[in-house]
C-alpha cells in the first residue's frame, strides 16, 4: 500500500524549502516557474531542503536546525560551486547538484529516489535535547519560586509593556530568521511583540560579511552594476538589469501579500522582458491596482518621513518619500536621454511599490532609447536599491531605520514594510568587500 502511494506521490510537485545563499538568489527564485517544484514556507511541509550558493559559517547551525525540522522522508540538496565544500561539512548527507545548471531536475530525481526507498531518510544532525529543561514542584510540573516557578521552558514570565492602544499587554520576545521565507536570506529580526504589535525590534549584524566573496559570481542582475563602478557599461544593459531586479523583487513581494499566482506571472515577465517593453509594466501596474493591493494591503503601512532619508541615498525608498536624489542625474549620458528622477509623495509601502514599478517602466524606456551609449561616471552607480559606492551598499544604510520603522506596527504590516524596503544582505556584504580591492567577475 505504501509503495502504491509512494508511486502516485512521485508525480506530485516536490515540496522544497529553498534557501538562497550568496550568488544563487535568482536560480532559487526561478524555481517558482517550474511546475514540478513547489516552494513552501515551512520546513515541516517540505521533503527536500535546497541550499544553493555560498553560506557563511555563522549560518551553519540555523541550516542544521531547519534540516532537522523537516518531515520524514527528507533529503538535502546542495547546489554550490566548488567553494561550497563547507556546506557539505555542515550537511553531510546532502546530494550535490551543480549550481549553474537547472536545479529542478536534480530536486525531482532526489525526491523520487527517496520516495522509492533508494536511500533512507536523513537522520537528525543536532542532538534532540530540550533547550531549556525545567521542572517545578507541582503535580503538573508547575510551581516553585514565583507565580509560575521561574522561567519554565525558557519562557520568561510575561512582562507588561505599554502598548500603543493604551493597554498594557504581555510581551513575547521572538527571533525570526535567518531563513524566514519573506525575509532576504540572512536577515535575523529580534522582535518584542505585545499582542500582534511589534513594540521593539533589532536586526542582527549581517552574517554575509564573514563570507569570502572572491569565488562567488554575483547574480546576473547585480553584475552590471558592480562592473559599472570601475568600467563603462552599456546603459541598455544596466537599465534592463534594473528593471529585472525590480520585477524579481515584485514577484517575491506579491507572494508575501498572498498573490502567489500573480507572483509567478511577474517572474515570467522578468525573464522575458526586453528593452523598450515599458508597456508591459504599465499593464502590470493596472493589474495590480485591480487587486487592491495598494489600498487594502499597503495603504498607509510603514510610512517613512522624508527627513529620515535625506542623506541615506536609499534609492527607490528615498524617492518614494519624495526625495529626488538619483546618481543617474549626474551622468551626462543619462542627461542626454532626458532622464529625470521619478518620485512619489506618500512614503508608505504602497508608494515604494509604485515607485519601483514606475522605475522599472522608466528603465525599460531608457534601455529602449539608449542605443550604444555607455555610463560615463566611475566610482558610484545608482543600483536598483540605491547608491552603490565602493564604500557601501544601501541595505547597510537602511539598517538603522528598521527598528524605529517597525515600532508600533502590527506583525503583517511589519513584514510588508520590511519586504517593501528591498534589503539585500548579500549585496551589502559584497560592496563592503569591494573596498578591499576584491576583483569582481
Partner 1 sequence: MSEERLVDVLFWVFAIGSVVTGYRVFRTDSMVRAAFYLLASFAAVGGILVLLGAEFLGMVLILMMAGEMLVMAIVMVMFMMNPAGLNPMWMVHQHRIAVAAGVVAFLAIASLGFLVDFPDQPNARPELATEQLGIELLGDSMLVFQTAGVALLSTMAGVVVLASRRGRYGIADEGSEEPPLQPDEVDLLGEEATP
Partner 2 sequence: MRTYASPEFALLAVGFTMVVGIYVVAMLDHVVGGRVAARPLLWREIVAGPARSAALLIVQRRMTTERTDTPGWMLAPALFAALAATALALVPLGPDLVVADPETGFVVFSAAIAFVMIAVFLHGWSPNSALPLHGAYRYAAQALSFQIPFLLAMLATALPAESLSIVEIVAAQESAWNVVRQPLGLPIYLVVGLAVSFWGPLNLPDGADLAGGTSAEDSGIARLLWQAARAAMLVAIAAMGAAGFLGGWWGPWLSGIVWMLLKTVALLVLLIAAGHLLARVRIERFVVVAWVLLIPLALVNIFVSGAFLL
DSSP letters for 232-266: --BHHHHHHHHHHHHHHHHHHHHHHTT-HHHHHHH
For residue 121, how far is the Cα from the chain centroid?
Answer: 29
Q: Which residues pair with 332 in a beta bridge?
A: none
Largest CA distance in the chain: 80
CB of 415 to partner 2, least distance (A): 4
Name the residue nearer to partner 2 (CB basis): 9 or 202. 9
Which of the residues 381 through 410 are near partner 2 (CB under 8 A)?
410
**Whole-number Å distance between alpha carbons of 207 and 288:** 34
Figure out which of the listed residues 42, 71, 142, 292 binds partner 1, where binding follows CB under 8 A: 142
Among 14, 169, 266, 414, contact with partner 1 (rule: CB under 8 A):
169
Separation between Cα atoms, residue 366 and residue 414, nearest integer Å? 34
Which set of grid coordinates corresponds to residue 291? 487587486
User: Per CB under 8 A, does 112 bind partner 2?
Assistant: no
The binder of 130, among partner 2, partner 1, none, by C-beta within 5 to 8 A per type, is partner 2
Could you tell me the smallest distance in angstroms from the CB atom of residue 158 to partner 2? Answer: 13
Q: Is 300 in the site for partner 1 (CB under 8 A)?
A: no
The count of chain residues that interact with partner 2, using the rule CB under 8 A, is 57
For helices 260-272 and 278-290, angle between their N-to-C axes, nearest 10 degrees: 170
Cβ atoms of 121 and 114 closer than 8 Å: yes
- Collapse the DSSP code of 174 into the 3-class scheme (helix H, G, I; strand E, B; otherwise coil) and give the result: strand
CA distance linking residue 155 with residue 132, whole number of Å:
9
Cell of 393: 551598499
Assess 180 for contact with partner 2 (CB under 8 A): yes
* Least distance (Å) between residue 142 CB and partner 1: 4
Touching partner 2, residues 113-142 (CB under 8 A): 115, 130
Cell numbers standing for residue 154: 525558557
Question: Could you tell me the three cell numbers for 419?
Answer: 519586504
Q: Which does 82 bind (CB under 5 to 8 A by kind): partner 2, partner 1, none?
A: none
Query: 197 forms bridges with which residues in the sheet?
Result: 194, 410
Secondary element (H or E) of residue 75? strand 75-79
DSSP 8-state symbol, 295: I
Which x/- pattern over 145-164 shows residues binding partner 2 (rule: CB under 8 A)? --------x-----------
Distance, CA of 333 to CA of 2 (rounded, Å):
66
Nearer CB in complex with partner 1: 166/338:
166
Minimum separation from the CB atom of position 396 to partner 2 (A):
25
Indicate whether 291 belongs to the interface with partner 2 (CB under 8 A).
Answer: yes
Q: How far apart are CA 168 and CA 173, in angstroms?
A: 16
Q: Which stretch binds partner 1 (CB under 8 A): 142-150, 209-217, 263-271, 308-316?
A: 142-150
- Upper half-sphere CA count for residue 406 (Cβ side, 13 Å): 30
Place of cell 492602544: 165
| Residue 331-360 contact track with partner 2, rule CB under 8 A, x = bound | ------------------------------
Q: How far apart are CA 18 and CA 40, in angstroms?
A: 8
Residue 93 vs 411, nearer CB to partner 1: 411
Q: At closest approach, how far in Å is the CB of 303 from partner 1?
A: 13
Residue of 22, 238, 301, 318 interacting with partner 2 (CB under 8 A): 301
Residues forming the site for partner 2 (CB under 8 A): 2, 5-6, 8-9, 11-13, 15, 33, 35, 40-42, 44-45, 47, 69-73, 115, 130, 153, 172, 174, 180-182, 193, 195-196, 255-262, 264-265, 268, 290-293, 296-297, 301, 410-413, 415-416
Residues forming the site for partner 1 (CB under 8 A): 136, 138-143, 147-148, 152-153, 155-158, 162, 164-166, 169-170, 172, 408
Amino acid at each position: 500500500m505504501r509503495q502504491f502511494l509512494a508511486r502516485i506521490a512521485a508525480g506530485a510537485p516536490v515540496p522544497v524549502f529553498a534557501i538562497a545563499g550568496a550568488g544563487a538568489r535568482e536560480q532559487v527564485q526561478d524555481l517558482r516557474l517550474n511546475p514540478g517544484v513547489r516552494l513552501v514556507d515551512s520546513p515541516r511541509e517540505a521533503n527536500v531542503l535546497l541550499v544553493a550558493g555560498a553560506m557563511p559559517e555563522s549560518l551553519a547551525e540555523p541550516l542544521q536546525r531547519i534540516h532537522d525540522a523537516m518531515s520524514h522522508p527528507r533529503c538535502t540538496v546542495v547546489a554550490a560551486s566548488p567553494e561550497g565544500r563547507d556546506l557539505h561539512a555542515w550537511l553531510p548527507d546532502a546530494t550535490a547538484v551543480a549550481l549553474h545548471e537547472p536545479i529542478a531536475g536534480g530536486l525531482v530525481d532526489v525526491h523520487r529516489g527517496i520516495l522509492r526507498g533508494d536511500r533512507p531518510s536523513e537522520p537528525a544532525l543536532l542532538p534532540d535535547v530540550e533547550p531549556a529543561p525545567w521542572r517545578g514542584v507541582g503535580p503538573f510540573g508547575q510551581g516553585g519560586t514565583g507565580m509560575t516557578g521561574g522561567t519554565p521552558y525558557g519562557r520568561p514570565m510575561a512582562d507588561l509593556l505599554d502598548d500603543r492602544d493604551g493597554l498594557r499587554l504581555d510581551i513575547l520576545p521572538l527571533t525570526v530568521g535567518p531563513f524566514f521565507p519573506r525575509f532576504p536570506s540572512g536577515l535575523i529580526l529580534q522582535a518584542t511583540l505585545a499582542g500582534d504589535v511589534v513594540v521593539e525590534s533589532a536586526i542582527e549584524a549581517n552574517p554575509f560579511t564573514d563570507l569570502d566573496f572572491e569565488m562567488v559570481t554575483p547574480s546576473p542582475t547585480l553584475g552590471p552594476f558592480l562592473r559599472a563602478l570601475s568600467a563603462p557599461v552599456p546603459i541598455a544593459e544596466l537599465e534592463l538589469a534594473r528593471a529585472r531586479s525590480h520585477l524579481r523583487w515584485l514577484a517575491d513581494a506579491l507572494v508575501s501579500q498572498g498573490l502567489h499566482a500573480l507572483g509567478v506571472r511577474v517572474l515570467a515577465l522578468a525573464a522575458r522582458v526586453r528593452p523598450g517593453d515599458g508597456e508591459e509594466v504599465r499593464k502590470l501596474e493596472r493589474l495590480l491596482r485591480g487587486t487592491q493591493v495598494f489600498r487594502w494591503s499597503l495603504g498607509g503601512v510603514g510610512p517613512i518621513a522624508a527627513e529620515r532619508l535625506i542623506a541615506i541615498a536609499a534609492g527607490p525608498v528615498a524617492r518614494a518619500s519624495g526625495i529626488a536624489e538619483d546618481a543617474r542625474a549626474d551622468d551626462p549620458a543619462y542627461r542626454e536621454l532626458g532622464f529625470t528622477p521619478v518620485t512619489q509623495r506618500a512614503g508608505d509601502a504602497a508608494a515604494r511599490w509604485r515607485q519601483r514599478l514606475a522605475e522599472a517602466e522608466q528603465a525599460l524606456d531608457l534601455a529602449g532609447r539608449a542605443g550604444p551609449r555607455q555610463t560615463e561616471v566611475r566610482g558610484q552607480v545608482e543600483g536598483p536599491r540605491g547608491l552603490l559606492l565602493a564604500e557601501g551598499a544601501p541595505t547597510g544604510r537602511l539598517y538603522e531605520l528598521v527598528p524605529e520603522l517597525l515600532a508600533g506596527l502590527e506583525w503583517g504590516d511589519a513584514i510588508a514594510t520590511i519586504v517593501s524596503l528591498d534589503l539585500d544582505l548579500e549585496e551589502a556584504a559584497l560592496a563592503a568587500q569591494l573596498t578591499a580591492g576584491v576583483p569582481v567577475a
